[in-house]
Amino acid sequence: MNNKTKRVTIFFVLLLASLTIVLPVTREGRHESLKTGVLIVLIMVLGVLNLRNLNRQLELEKNKGVKLHEQNMNSSRLISELDFNTRREISVWLHGDVQRQLMSIARRLRDAGHGDLASGISELNDQTVRAMAHRLHPPQLDISLELALSDLCHGQAELQLSENLHLQSFTNSEFVVLPTELRIAIYRIVEEGITNALKKPNTQKIAVAVTALNNCIEISVQDDGDRLKDNWQGSLGFSLIAIFVERFGGSWSISNDENGVILRATLNQELTSSTDYIPRKYPNLSRSQVGESQ
């Protein structure tokens, strides 16, 4: 209710109250009616004032709620960005400085005649440090979600992507071009789901499915391992999933089913097809030329 509406309301309330006073007095001239009318006016005025105060309080509470929601969204955004930047920085450090120093140590050991030690360090460098760097920030993720998830799931889980997420359909109108932040969120959610499944020693099968719909991404990670325990809410990994989901205004759940445990997540995002993306990315090329360039 704006100020103008409030003033009009108060005017009509006072007018009606005045009529309740004047009419009885005019007709009968009794003081009792005057007292009753005054009492009615006071009650109505107090009611209007209380209504205004209530509206003001409701407006303040509404503004507080909006601010809290904005703060939560900003916090989720900051945490997801911090997670991404930290992983990337450590990955660059491992892939650069650490690997370079290990290679230098291996070379000096080899020159000093310690070939076995040099081979062990080289193996550590290639198989452990490099793998850890790629796991923290998969270089494939900068190119394609399909490549990154295929590498993540290799030897660990079955991967099923909707047709519009396959690179081979890039030049088709159905192909969906995902923003970088969305690719990262999908990857991290799948990664946490697989990690949680692998923690259970009796897990034999993990199935990952990612589907791109009109305005959202649906993710599921299902395993046949032990069922959830009551204290699963305290997991740091699940907290990260909640942050990534909240970042895109989505929802998620994890529950027991007849086969084991299933994690589901939905990320809301207006998706762009290659029909819209290609003319912006390659304004001077035809669709067939873009396909050849890929």
Q: How far apart are CA 190 and CA 218, in angstroms?
A: 11
pTM of the model: 0.61
Largest CA distance in the chain: 124
Which of 162, 160, 158, 134 is CA-nearest to residue 148? 134
The predicted pLDDT at position 267 comes to: 96
The predicted pLDDT at position 26 comes to: 47
The predicted pLDDT at position 287 comes to: 45
Please give the C-alpha separations between residue 115 and each of 99, 124, 130, in angstroms, as whole numbers.
Answer: 18, 14, 21
Place of tokens 């070939």: 115
Q: How far apart are CA 6 and CA 4, in angstroms?
A: 5
Q: Are the beta carbons of 265 and 238 closer than 8 angstroms? A: no
The predicted pLDDT at position 285 comes to: 46
The class that CATH gives domain 143-280 is alpha beta
CA angle 192, 196, 197 (to 5 degrees): 120
Long-range pairs, 70-76, Cβ under 8 A, ≥24: 72/246, 73/246, 73/247, 76/243, 76/244, 76/246, 76/247
One-character DSSP codes across 212-275: E-SSEEEEEEEE-SPPPPTTGGG-HHHHHHHHHHHHTT-EEEEEEETTEEEEEEEEE---EEHH
Tens digits of pLDDT across the chain (294 residues): 555 555 555 555 555 555 555 555 444 455 555 555 556 656 666 666 666 667 677 777 776 666 665 666 566 666 666 766 676 677 677 767 777 888 888 888 888 888 888 888 888 878 787 777 777 778 888 888 999 999 899 989 999 999 989 877 666 667 888 888 899 899 999 999 998 899 888 999 999 999 999 899 999 999 999 888 776 666 777 888 888 898 898 999 999 988 899 999 999 988 877 655 444 454 454 444 444 444
**The token pair that represents 48 in the structure block:** 């209007």
Which of 47, 67, 65, 45 is CA-nearest to residue 55? 47
Domain residue spans of the chain: 3-71, 77-136, 143-280
Place of tokens 């969204």: 73
